[in-house]
């Protein structure tokens, strides 16, 4: 389903967009999140967002990625696994504070409800935690670290 909001177009990622998605995520990650991770965490995350890994999760696994486009550019990404856990939520920093994260979560939550889910979970980075709180997520545990990646488990009741 294509949703147009202002100049932004929201829909599902299509085959062949993995490289553009990965490049945008990598840029934002390095600027805002990488400094909170150990070198192992940075390496682990960069492997996770490799275009081949994104392809496998989305076209051979049980993930779906919603994207926000402005023209031919992908400026926002939300990847959800099994209609219940957000793996990735990134917005190009030139487009922060324009409601893109809120709209991506709204689109994903709508489908999750249709799939019978009662909540959506996420492991929020230290940078992302206040953003998720603003969008209605609540922490379900204290901050943790796994494989050099710091995160706080959170959930949104649908």
Superfamily name and number for 3-157: Gcn5-related N-acetyltransferase (GNAT) (3.40.630.30)
Q: What's the pTM?
A: 0.92
Which run of H or E residues covers position 101?
Answer: helix 100-114
pLDDT the model gives residue 55: 97
Yes or no: say if 11 and 68 are a contact pair by the CB < 8 Å rule: no
Question: Residue ranges per domain, the chain?
Answer: 3-157
pLDDT the model gives residue 7: 87
For every one of its 158 residues, what pLDDT tens digit does the chain have, with 9 covering 90 and above?
455 556 899 999 999 999 999 999 999 999 999 999 999 999 999 999 999 999 999 999 899 999 999 999 999 999 999 999 999 999 999 999 999 999 999 999 999 999 999 999 999 999 999 999 999 999 999 999 999 999 999 999 99
């Amino acid at each position: 389903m294509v949703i147009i909001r202002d100049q932004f177009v929201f829909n599902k990622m299509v085959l062949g967009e993995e490289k553009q998605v990965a490049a945008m995520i990598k840029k934002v990650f390095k600027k805002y999140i990488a400094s909170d991770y150990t070198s192992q965490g940075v390496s682990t995350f960069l492997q996770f967002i490799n275009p081949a890994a994104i392809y496998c999760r989305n076209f051979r696994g049980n993930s779906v990625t919603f994207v926000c486009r402005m023209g031919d550019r992908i400026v926002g990404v939300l990847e959800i696994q099994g209609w219940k856990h957000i793996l990735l939520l990134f917005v190009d920093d030139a487009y922060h504070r324009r409601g893109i994260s809120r709209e991506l979560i709204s689109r994903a939550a709508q489908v999750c409800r249709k799939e019978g889910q009662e909540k959506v979970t996420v492991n929020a980075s230290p940078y992302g935690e206040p953003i998720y709180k603003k969008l209605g997520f609540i922490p379900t545990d204290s901050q943790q670290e796994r494989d050099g990646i710091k995160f706080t488990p959170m959930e949104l009741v649908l």
